[in-house]
Amino acid sequence: MRIPLQRLAHVRSGDKGNTSNVSVIAYEPALFPILKEQLTSKSFKEHYGEAITGAVQRFEIENLCALNFVCQGALGGGVSRSLSIDNYGKALSAVVLSFECEVPDKLASLLR
């Protein structure tokens, strides 16, 4: 079944200058392999279209069942330099919750 990320993980974020940091944390350890397979640096960046102008690095934090994405050029020059409204990491992190993942039916009971 194809479902939005928000049903299998939650996010946390931060920002500094023109760089945003987005962590995606699986609700259950059994869901973490799905995140690792489907939410790559490339798919993460593509999901944002032109909003992220620089490189995206992904770091796996196995013991927390989390992926951390460091996004360069993600905040329109930086929060204090941009004329964009609500151009913070928290707004950027909310977008990834709509990323669609393919989840096997047998894991349906672990979804939220």
Show the tokens assigned to 86. Answer: 């609500």
Q: Residue 25 sits in which domain range?
A: 2-101
CB 21 within 8 A of CB 3: no
In the chain (112 residues long), the average pLDDT of successive 10-residue segments reads: 97 84 96 98 93 94 97 69 51 87 96 95
User: How would you class 10 by CB atoms within 10 Å of its CB: exposed for 0-12, middle for 13-18, buried for 19 or more?
Assistant: middle
CATH number, position 65: 3.30.70
Q: Say what the pTM is.
A: 0.86
Residue 112 counted as domain residue = no
Q: Structurally, how many domains does the chain consist of?
A: 1
